[in-house]
Structure 1
Amino acid sequence: MSDPKILTISGSLRAGATNRKLLAEATRLFGPAEVTEADLNLPLYDGDDEQASGIPAAVQTLADQIGAADAVIISTPEYNGAPSGVLKNALDWVSRTSNKPWQDKPVAIMSAAAGRAGGEKSQMLLRTFLVPFQPRVLTAPQVHLAASHSEFDEGGRLLSELYTETLEALMTALRAEIAR
């Protein structure tokens, strides 16, 4: 059997974002997989632009990547109690494509944030945002990486054994969901 295809989506555009580091740790703990990182550097959704020019190529690429993946792992920061606008914009754009790439797709959600709740509110809202697309979102275990700027070593590995164990359990659950 070939390695599963995993698409990672970071709700942060920053190259050194802790959400990207968390996704890298997740895929490391997941084990052998063909991993693709999504590019959310998309134009802002505008219905007039869509009507005039259609779906941008970058948006269609993202929708195709979601559709081709065996599972998707999303990590979002929390900005003002919600997922990033970048992530919401990507979800809005993908919803406008003709295919339904999220339909029945296994999805693991996590968050890394500066605050002490680790992005718990952003995860709750992200789950709500995904409901219309009907993916198979894992409900547990939940990974909320608090004070994320201090949770990684110089090599990008998680410092906390508890976070590592929880993330590994989430990746084990995702593997099982893919096999389902």
Structure 2
Amino acid sequence: MNQTRIAIIVGSLRRDSFNKKLARAIEKLAPPEVSFIHIPIGDLPLYNQDDDAAQAEPVTQLKASILAAEGVLFVTPEYNRSVPGVLKNAIDHASRPYGQSAWQKKPAGIIGVSVGVVGTAMAQQHLRNILANLDMPTMGQPEAFIQAKEGLFDADGTIGLDSRSFLEGWMRHFIAWVRAHSAIGNAGCGH
């Protein structure tokens, strides 16, 4: 089977972010024919439409990395019941200039971890609305609102035993989603 490339975008800049840790841990649950591209978003300038004609190097790198992937995995915390500003900034950059969005037709998955019992449910719902506008087919089920609690991660940073089965199943669904929708999107876009 051909290699499936997944772009991972973590919506947190915090050094010890639970979401960065989750991104690295669930990556290990994927089959060997899946590779991951971690896309940094912390060095992007604030989006300004005046810059669309001459996008900064970090923006062109962001767009190139997205275009090189078959799918996108968003791993995001929830800030004030929504997506972090840094994530929205990255989304806005890669969608511009108008008509040149790197997001269009890219299959997506959303997952996140928080200390709260509802995980990142509100942020994920807001992100789904944004991705629908960008024409990104986004996996609806299973949803994964992960609570950061004792045992989520083992000492070596892998997913703990109590959550492993659920997250392995989530990853299987996500990879199948990407493969099914990547083929449809590529056939429809002439790729």
Q: What TM-score do the two structures reach when normalised by structure 1?
A: 0.89
Cα deviation, residue 88, structure 1: 0.6
Between the aligned partners of 2:159 and 2:101, the Cα distance in structure 1 is 34
Range with bigger deviation, 89-98 or 78-87: 89-98
Between the aligned partners of 1:13 and 1:110, the Cα distance in structure 2 is 16
Root-mean-square deviation over aligned CA pairs: 1.9
Range with bigger deviation, 144-153 or 16-25: 144-153
1:80 — aligned with what?
A: 80
How many residues matched?
177
- 1:153–1:146 distance in 2 versus 1, CA, 3 Å: same
Between the aligned partners of 1:47 and 1:108, the Cα distance in structure 2 is 27
1:105 — aligned with what?
A: 106
Partner of 1:136, secondary structure, is coil
Cα deviation, residue 148, structure 1: 5.2
Identity %: 32
Cα deviation, residue 150, structure 1: 6.3
- 1:122–1:29 distance in 2 versus 1, CA, 3 Å: same
Between the aligned partners of 1:168 and 1:160, the Cα distance in structure 2 is 11
2:185 — aligned with what?
A: none
Q: 1:56-83 CA distances to partner (integer Å, 9 max, x unpaired)?
A: 1111111111111011111100111111
Between the aligned partners of 1:120 and 1:105, the Cα distance in structure 2 is 22
2:57 — aligned with what?
A: 57
Contact 1:106-1:178 within 8 A present in 2 as well: yes
Report the residue type matching 2:92 in the other structure: D
Cα deviation, residue 2, structure 1: 2.8
Q: What TM-score do the two structures reach when normalised by structure 2?
A: 0.84
Question: Are positions 1:43 and 2:45 aligned together?
Answer: yes
1:34 — aligned with what?
A: 35
Between the aligned partners of 1:142 and 1:69, the Cα distance in structure 2 is 22
Partner of 1:62, secondary structure, is helix
Structure 1 unaligned blocks of 5 or more: none
Structure 2 unaligned blocks of 5 or more: 181-191
Partner of 1:72, secondary structure, is strand
